[in-house]
Each structure stands twice: as structure tokens, then as C-alpha cells.
Structure 1
Amino acid sequence: MPGGMDIVRLTAVSKAYGTGPGAVTALDGVTLGLAEGSFTAVMGASGSGKSTLLQCAAGLERPTAGAVSLDGRDLSRMRESALTRLRRETIGFVFQSYNLLPALTAEQNVGLPLRLAGHRPDPRAVRAALDAVGLGDRARHRPAELSGGQQQRVAIARALAAAPRVLFADEPTGALDSAASRTVLRILRTLVSEHGQTIVMVTHDPVAAAHAGRVVFLADGRVAGTLTEPDAVTVAGRLAGLEDAAAGEAAAC
């Protein structure tokens, strides 16, 4: 269960791309706390600011205004080298694309980020990460010998190997069939409920969002509501309402 303390905090965060009349506002004054040990899904229509929120929260993008804190540290006050180190030591990333190197085995792919950071991977930690996603018996298999769902589970294990405080996932089931998606989502839920992992997941899928403990809805770069302990039907209804409202505003312009 969430410990109550926000491990990630966005305060009045805005993010604009470009300048002058052609500037595009992706986030507009977002204030949001993400508790340690929580599983939060972020949803919204295309262009609502979902991925930008994730990128700002993870320190991949610097906000135009406002502040982001991660594990008690103000990211806006950090130099790029220190920010890179903090991301490496504190954050794990999982994307829709698996980004596995085809010539490496599963265990070599899991250990690769540690090697790139100048550390020798602990074989026990690598195997534990693979065990956590149910692939301990596939450690020596290369990506071509694994299904899409198994490859995404290797990508999750790779993110877990460095014991991140926060795991950010951007559409982690977007390229998977329904059965593989269910497996990946069960793993993510178990990481939270049994291991206290903090997960922030951007998704367009109400079924995926229903695995989270809370859903945050975005519209036009602003928080448009939240749901706790969501179910897929309620999530889908709320999302449809936001999309209808956005379509109505566009038609009125």
C-alpha cells in the first residue's frame, strides 16, 4: 500500500514548446503528487499532455514554469550531470518499444544499462529481476526466441535491475495482444502490492488503467479529475466524456 509520502511532486508545472504565437502549451499549471508505493495511470485524449507529464515527472524534460521534486530533490535546481545521475540511480523506464538488443540474451539485456553506467551487473540481481517477471528460465534466450509479451517483460526486468524508486511506463502494453497485456499488467500490479514499487503509467486503455490504484485524467494540459480503485467501465466512461468535450470545443472554434 502507498506509504503516504509523495516520492514525485509536480507543483504548478507548465510546459510549452516553441515561442511566440506558435507556441504550444502541453502542460498548464499541473499540481500532482505521486505517493511512494502507489500505482498511478495517466489518461487523456491525444494531445492532452500525458507523455509530457511523464517526461517532466521523470526529469527527461524541464518544465517551462513550476517545480518537480523527485525523492525529495528539486529537479529544477540540478545541473544536467546531476540530473542524469539521479535518473540512472532512482528511475526505471519501460516504453511501448522493447528496445532490446537482438544479439544479447535476456540476462545480458537486463544488465546492459548497469554496464553502460560503469557498473558490473550483479548476476543475482539480474536473475532476481527476471524471476520477478516470470522469466528466470528464459535468461539465456535472445529476443528473437521470445514472444512480444516476453520481450516486454525483459524490458521491465531491465528497468527493475537497478532497484529504481519509481518506474515510469509509457504505453507498456500498447504493442501487445490482450493475453500478453494481462500478464504484463498483473506483473506491474504485483510489483506494487507485494514489493512496494512506485509505478506511473501512461495508457490509452481503460482495462490497463483499471489495474492501477488511481487514474489521473488530463485534458488540454490540465488535470481533469481522478478515480481511485477504478474499474474499466467507469474509466472508459470518464475518458469518453473528456473526448466528447474536447471534440465539442474543437467544433466550436
Structure 2
Amino acid sequence: MTTQTVVLEGVRAVYGTGARRVTALDGVSVTFERGRLAAVMGPSGSGKSTLLHCAAGLDRPAAGHISIDGVALDKLSEDGLTRLRRDRIGFVFQAFNLVSALTAEQNVALPQRLAGRRPPASDVAAALAAVGLADRARHRPSELSGGEQQRVAVARALISRPAVVFADEPTGALDSVTSRQVLELLRALVDDHELTVVMVTHDPVAAGYADRVVFLADGRVVDDVTGPVPVDAIAARTAPSC
């Protein structure tokens, strides 16, 4: 039985003032459950990235409530949000954001080291093994393929054993073959370890790996489909209207 890992209730996000005022999220209510891979889709400007940033505590909404693993974000100070992101949230972005001078294992350990912690070597090794890179621990990013670099980024997101991983266009910089490998990895982590993944993507093929697809338009949820959703159906929903 799944539980609600991420809950958004009536979330409203507004940027700018006057004529430049933009409502990026307009009363969004949605939940994401443990052990599920959810894709968030929509046209440019629909609010996809804003939803992710608010859900992850990177941006504070103008109104509404958000909780992660039962913790209400609006009750936390900035220090509290920082600790929550460090301890309970993993991030994977389109840009791998690896430090070129560090090895794979050092990149995986870096967030914990910056927080003043020294993660056990066994935890780092386990994270790399989980993404299929046990034999690449001592390699630097320049010695790794794009797909391997993104898998290092996934391992880095896993090191704190997060409640949820937010992935923002995780395959956007990869070719189709490498994208499939990364998506299969995320799918396996969800299925085998009951990880919760919320993935923003514009790619119907990527969304086809999800258990559920949430569609946004103009800052609102306009459809919410439990999958598996056929890729052609996703493509039809996201195709620009003539």
C-alpha cells in the first residue's frame, strides 16, 4: 500500500509585479505517492519547473501548502528547508552538475561533505553499485560518457536515502540510447527500492516509463492519467494545437 510522499494543496506561485506579474501556478493540488514514478508534462510556460521548485522547497509559493514525508514546508525556516533538502530530497537535473576535478565517488559524497558529514565509504559504493557504476568509482567526469555522468548524478541523489527524487529533464542532454538507459535505471530504482520520483519532462518517450502523467497548462492541472500511458497517447496530448 502506497503512502503520500509529496502533497501540494492549493499551491499558487506568482512572479513579478504590475504588467510583468505572472501566475506560474494557479491553485495546484496534487499528490505523489511512495514507490511511484510520476511524469509532469505541459507546454513551455505551463508551470512544470515551478511546480518542481516549489515542491522541493527551492521556491516558496505565494499561497497553499506543501508537505514532504509528512513535514509541512511552510512551517520551516530557511535553515530547516536546507536541512530537509539535504536529508530527504534528491535532485537530478538536465545538466549533470558534476565537479570535473573530483572522481565519481567524490562527486557522490560531495553534498554530504559540504554539510559537514563524512558518508561511509560503503554507502558511496552502494550508491554507485545501484546505478551500475561500481567499477567507475575512481573515474573523473571527463572519463565517463554522458549517460555514466548522469548515473553518477543519480547516485549522488540517492546517497542520503531521500524520501523523493525530483528530476528536471534528466534525459534532455542525452541521446536516445543513453536516455533509455537512464530511464530504465530510474524505473528499476522505483520498482526495486520503492523510491518516489517526480520527473519533469517534455519527452513522451520518457513519460512512457512513468506510472502516472500529470499534465499542466497555464499553471493548472488539466489532466492526470494513471499509467502505463502509451507513448503515442502522451504525444497526442502534448502536441501543439494548430
What is the DSSP-based 3-state SS (H/G/I as helix, E as strand, rest coil) of the residue aligned with 1:204?
A: coil
**TM-score, with structure 2 as normaliser:** 0.98
Q: Which has the larger displacement, 16-25 or 56-65?
A: 16-25
Report the CA distance between 1:39 and its aligned residue: 0.7
User: 2:44 aligns to what?
Assistant: 46
1:128 to 126, 129, 144: 126
CA RMSD in angstroms comes to: 0.9
| Structure 2 segments unaligned to the other structure (5+ residues) | none
What CA distance in whole angstroms lies between the structure 2 residues aligned with 1:231 and 1:117?
Answer: 42
Q: Which residue of 2 aligns with 1:115?
A: 113
Provide the residue aligned with 1:250 in structure 2: none
1:22 aligns with 2:13: no
Instruction: Kindly provide the amino acid, as one letter, of the partner of residue 141 in structure 2.
Output: P
3-state SS of paired residue (1:30) = strand
Q: What is the SS of the residue equivalent to 1:13?
A: strand
Letter of the aligned partner of 1:90 in structure 2?
A: R
User: What is the identity, as a one-letter code, of the residue corresponding to 1:213?
Assistant: D
The residue identity in structure 1 corresponding to 2:11 is V
Name the residue aligned to 2:97.
99
| Structure 2 SS opposite 1:68 | strand
The 10-residue stretch of structure 1 (230-239 or 172-181) with the greater mean CA deviation from structure 2: 230-239
Amino acid at match of 1:236: A
Superposition pairs of residues 30-179 of structure 1, within 5 angstroms: 30-179=28-177
Secondary structure of 1:21's partner? Answer: helix
1:22 deviates by 2.2
Moved over 3 A (4+): none
Say whether residues 1:231 and 2:230 are aligned partners: yes
Q: CA deviation at 1:239?
A: 1.1
Query: Superposition pairs for residues 188-227 of structure 1, below 5 Å?
Result: 188-227=186-225
TM-score, structure 1 length as denominator?
0.93
In structure 1, give the amino acid aligned to 2:139: H
Q: How far apart are 1:20 and its partner, in Å?
A: 2.6
User: CA–CA distance in 2 between the matches of 1:235 and 1:198?
Assistant: 21
Range with greater deviation from structure 2 (225-234 or 209-218): 225-234
User: Deviation digits for residues 16-70 of structure 1, max 9, x if unmatched?
Assistant: 0012332101000000011111110000000000000000111111001111111
Deviation at 1:226, TM superposition (A): 1.5
Runs of 5+ consecutive residues of structure 1 not aligned to the other structure? 248-253
Sequence identity, in percent? Answer: 62
SS in structure 1 at match of 2:225:
strand
Residue correspondences, number: 241
User: How many angstroms apart in 2 are the aligned matches of 1:86 and 1:44?
Assistant: 28
| In structure 1, C-alpha distance between the alignment counterparts of 2:68 and 2:49, rounded to whole Å | 17
Indicate the residue corresponding to 1:251 in structure 2: none
**Counterpart-to-counterpart distance in 1, 2:195 and 2:161:** 9
